[in-house]
Amino acid sequence: MQLRGWVRTVRAQKDLSFIEVNDGSSLSGIQAVVNGDVPGREHLDAGDITTGAAVLIEGTVVESPGGKQAVEVAVESIKLIGGADASTFPLQKKRHTLEYLRGIAHLRPRTNTIGAVTRVRNQLAYATHTFFQQHGFQYVNTPIVTASDCEGAGEQFQVTTLINGIDGPSVASAQSNVASEADIAAAKAAAAEQGVVVKTLKDAKKEGEATKEEVDEAVAELLALKAKAESLENSPAAAAAGGDIPRDAAGAVDYGKDFFGKPSYLTVSGQLNAEIYACAMRDVYTFGPTFRAENSNTSRHLAEFWMVEPELAFANLQDDMDCAEAYLKHCLTHVLEHCDEDLEFFEKNISKDNLRERLRGVATSDFARITYTEAVDHVLKAKKKFEFPVEWGCDLQSEHERYLTEEVFKNRPVIVRDYPKAVKAFYMRENDDGKTVAAMDVLVPKVGELMGGSQREERLDVLERRIEEVGLEKESYWWYLDLRRYGSVPHAGFGLGFERLVQYVTGVENIRDVIPFPRYPGSAEF
């Protein structure tokens, strides 16, 4: 047989040497025993075969006399494929911290921890596709570059070519482009005043005292003033980046000269685009990268992460909750069946609790289902102090979610539904009470929220009103509104941050350690 892999450890003796080789396919490597003068032995004697080196070994699998492994390889020949300088190789036999490994993300997959994370991540991805394919979902690819903001939060990375190929200005010209504080303040004040005009006209239009054209004209002027204020505020950065960015007569950036002819961004979610296909092909799902320009350095946030987002046509919130529960149970059952060795490793070295028992508990439990109002009541009655106080209308924090799953429902998953519409996105279906929306969050022990979803608002008039209420421009969502104009149906879906799922399954606390190449503020080396 042939053995190809990388050397973990070497114990070289005069006549007998032991090499542990791993190819990443499992947590355990295999011991290769070099006995006598086999071809290639000179590399060992010369000290060229060290930790990190790539080797090709030919030999025979035999029963091991030692107690640490059942079998080993009796080496017949050994070939050094790629050497590793032992004096500079960053990975040694000792255990390295995960923080240290983040600084060498190109080498950390060779470690036990990151290798195990990668194998679990692979099986969870496989389970994701398997579940949806087995249940009749179509896999669709939603765009990474988009012109709309699904969440309405504005935390998007802008995509632009306007600064490409621009010669850098001189120091003097760069300084001349810097706006004064007075200029910036005046521009902001003008935008604020125009905002009042727009609101007044919108109110007047409802009473029949203003026309749509008047409102549209005022909105256009407001957008121009906001763009001008933003341009002035960012003028030092623009000058430093390249200088002559095209501008219109009002001084705003002229996106008509940009690559797409309009402002465009990296997507924060594929949901809105997935709805297009759900309204044509019934059940679909997308599974791909998403991006948030959130300036956060916490252990729970990344600038680039992956999302699993199914969308179900002819479905309500009940159907959505059923699908989310079944999907999560499928993933956990699959990983328990196929990653036992890796989960045992995480249990002993990372989570240091009964990890597999906890996962089995979720995989086999009937999820509790309560309303947001009931959840708040439970927290208010708690005989413990929380860092964040609770009242009806506020968003639940992780400490409240964990209290519900771990203490109220005794380590049982919980689905909370019917949240106040003020804390949820514009596209969630408004309930008959006018105060809540048909939204749900799946909460699990030790983590809190793992998945979130909703029934989507399929009523055109209600959706238009909600877009206006949250301050978004309807013109940007014309195609989304068309889905309600032409053959609208009740539909629902949810989103799962894939890295959060990997964290939950492995017990790894920092989200930067469950993605191959973490992106966060100040870090994009690869």
The CATH number for 48's domain is 2.40.50.140
Query: Which of 258, 281, 310 is the C-terminal boundary of a domain?
Result: 258
The answer on 280 and 212 residing in a single domain is no
The pLDDT assigned to 328 comes to: 98
Domain presence at residue 97: no
Which of residues 255 and 118 earns the better pLDDT score?
118
Q: What pLDDT does residue 243 have?
A: 52
Identify the CATH number of the domain in which residue 451 sits: 3.30.930.10
Q: What is the distance between the alpha carbons of residues 417 and 419, in angstroms, rounded to a whole number? A: 6
98: in domain? no
Residues 186 and 210 in one domain: yes
Q: Are the beta carbons of 31 and 10 closer than 8 angstroms?
A: no
Query: In the predicted model, is pLDDT for residue 239 greater than 50?
Result: no
Specify whether 368 is located in the same domain as 497.
Answer: yes
Residues 389 and 324 in one domain: yes
Overall domain count for the chain:
3
pLDDT grade for 301, boundaries at 50, 70 and 90: confident
Predicted confidence at residue 32, as pLDDT, reads 95
Work out the average pLDDT over 287-315: 93
Confidence of residue 165 (pLDDT cuts 50, 70, 90): low
* pLDDT tens-digit readout, 310-336: 999 999 999 999 999 999 999 999 999
- Do 277 and 199 belong together in one domain? no
- pLDDT recorded at residue 177: 46
Mean pLDDT of 25-37: 91
What pLDDT is recorded for position 171? 38
Q: Is 36 within the bounds of a domain?
A: yes
Confidence of residue 373 (pLDDT cuts 50, 70, 90): very high
In a domain, 231, yes or no: yes
In this structure, the answer to whether residues 276 and 412 fall within a common structural domain is: yes
Instruction: Compute the chain's Rg from CA coordinates.
Output: 29
Domain boundary among 74, 89, 104: 89
Q: What is the mean pLDDT of the chain?
A: 89
Residue 209 has pLDDT above 90, yes or no: no
pLDDT at residue 224 in the model:
74
d(CA 411, CA 397): 17
Helices (H) and strands (E) in the chain, counts: 16, 16
Residues 492-516: tens digit of each pLDDT: 999 999 999 999 999 999 999 999 9
**Which pLDDT tens digit goes with each residue over 403-427?**
999 999 999 999 999 999 999 999 9
490 and 356 part of one domain: yes
Q: Residue 344 pLDDT > 70, yes or no?
A: yes
Same domain, 50 and 122: no
Domain boundary among 192, 225, 258: 258
Question: Of the ranges 14-18, 270-274, 313-317, which one carries the lowest mean pLDDT score?
Answer: 14-18
pLDDT number for residue 172: 39
- Shared domain for 336 and 411, answered yes or no, is yes
In this structure, the answer to whether residues 84 and 221 fall within a common structural domain is no
Q: Is the pLDDT of residue 175 over 50?
A: no
- The answer to whether residue 526 sits within a structural domain is no
Same domain, 137 and 175: no
Would 472 be classed as within a structural domain? yes
Note down the domain range covering 199: 161-258
Residue 143: pLDDT band (50, 70, 90) is: very high
Examine the pLDDT at 237 and tell me if it is beyond 50. no
Question: Is residue 471 a part of any domain in this protein?
Answer: yes
Q: Is residue 121 part of a domain?
A: yes
Contacts of 463 (CB under 8 A, 6+ apart): 426, 427, 457, 481, 484
Do the Cβ atoms of 191 and 222 come closer than 8 Å? Answer: yes
How far is 149 from 340, CA to CA, in rounded Å?
40
pTM: 0.83
> Do residues 309 and 243 share a domain?
no
Number of C-beta neighbours around residue 364 at 10 A:
10
For residue 515, the model assigns a pLDDT of 96
Share of the chain above pLDDT 90, in %: 67
With 90 as the cut, is the pLDDT of residue 180 above it? no
